């Protein structure tokens, strides 16, 4: 949700990080900037998912202070290389100059920010297409790529199984991706729908987890609050 207030609540709820979604939500550049700024002074790390693999999509969230950018459909090595170039200043990449707000988010001078940015900002790819199963070894071998997120929803959709990310065929594809990513130097992130699933994924070697979406967490909280109330009528 494009909501500063939601970010403020999440920042005090024990989360380590959030992924601000500019791909599948009405969050525009102004909202993303405000949400990133709302994490200031809290432990919450703001990451942003951009709507396409085009490098220019990363410019505004980076310059607003995002600590990492996640690009969709990182299926081939070429995609992963584009991810890295988009978030790094030269000579490691092609990020343009314009960090007018990011240093303010992190309490740094402009010089301090740009000196640290290439080492600390995360380059993240979403592995979410069945074709990635055969090419993921090339993706995780890409220098500078820090993390990949397995996207079960899009993975299932690419297999003709939209809405069925728990189908055995999708789970097998995820296992094949895990078998390559986990032994690599790239951190693996995934989606956990329960505490048991999250703990099992941590045991397998996942370094980051998406444990819910703001909309569904709110919906479940409301449903839980009223589920035991008896209404006369």
The predicted-structure confidence for 39-73, as pLDDT tens digits, reads as follows 999 999 999 999 988 899 999 999 999 999 999 99
Q: Which residues contact 122 (CB under 8 A, 6 or more apart)?
A: 47, 67, 68, 69, 87, 146, 147
Which tokens is 15 given?
């989360």
How far is residue 76's CA from residue 47's CA, in Å, rounded to a whole number?
22
pTM of the full structure: 0.93
Question: What pLDDT does 68 receive?
Answer: 98
CA-CA distance, 121 to 138, in Å (whole number)?
22
Spacing of C-alpha 193 from chain mean position? 16
Q: What share of the chain is helix, strand, coil (3-state, %, to 5)?
A: 45, 15, 40
Q: What ranges do the domains of the chain cover?
A: 4-186
Rounded distance between C-alpha atoms, residue 228 and residue 233, angstroms:
16
Of 131-140, 193-202, 219-228, the range with the lowest mean pLDDT is 219-228
| Nearest-angstrom CA–CA distance, 126 and 220 | 26
Over residues 140-198, the pLDDT tens digits come to 999 999 999 999 999 999 999 999 999 999 999 999 999 999 999 999 999 999 999 99
Residues serving a catalytic function are 24
Rounded to an integer, the average pLDDT of 20-36 is 96
Q: Between the CA atoms of 57, 165, 148 and 62, what dihedral angle is there, to the nearest 10 degrees?
A: 30
Which residues on adjacent β-strands are paired with residue 47? 19, 68
The pLDDT-based confidence of 228 (bands split at 50, 70, 90) is: confident
Tokens, residue 159: 């297999």
Record: fold of 4-186: TIM Barrel (3.20.20)
Whether residue 4 has pLDDT greater than 90: yes
In angstroms, the CA 177 to CA 134 distance is: 9
Res 233 pLDDT > 70: no
- pLDDT 10s digits, 81-112: 999 999 999 999 999 999 999 999 999 999 99
Q: Is 71 in contact with 79 (CB distance < 8 Å)?
A: yes
């Amino acid at each position: 949700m494009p909501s500063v207030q939601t970010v403020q609540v999440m920042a005090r709820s024990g989360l380590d990080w959030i992924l601000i979604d500019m791909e599948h939500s009405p969050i525009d550049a102004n909202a993303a900037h405000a949400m990133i700024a709302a994490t200031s002074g809290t432990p919450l790390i703001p990451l942003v998912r951009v709507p396409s693999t085009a490098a220019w999509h990363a410019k505004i969230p980076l310059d607003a202070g995002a600590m990492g950018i996640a690009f969709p459909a990182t299926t081939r090595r070429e995609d992963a290389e584009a991810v890295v170039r988009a978030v790094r200043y030269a000579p490691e990449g092609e990020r343009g100059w314009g960090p007018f707000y990011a240093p303010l988010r992190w309490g740094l001078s402009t010089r301090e920010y740009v000196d640290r940015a290439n080492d600390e900002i995360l380059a993240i790819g979403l592995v979410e297409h069945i074709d990635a199963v055969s090419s993921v070894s090339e993706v995780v071998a890409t220098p500078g790529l820090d993390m990949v997120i397995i996207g079960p929803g899009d993975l299932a959709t690419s297999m003709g199984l939209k809405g069925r990310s728990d189908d055995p065929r999708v789970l097998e594809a995820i296992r094949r991706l895990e078998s390559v990513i986990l032994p690599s130097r790239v951190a693996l992130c995934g989606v956990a729908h329960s505490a048991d699933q999250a703990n099992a994924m941590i045991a397998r070697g996942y370094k980051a987890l998406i444990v819910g979406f703001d909309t569904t967490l709110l919906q479940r909280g409301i449903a839980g609050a009223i589920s035991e109330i008896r209404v006369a009528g």
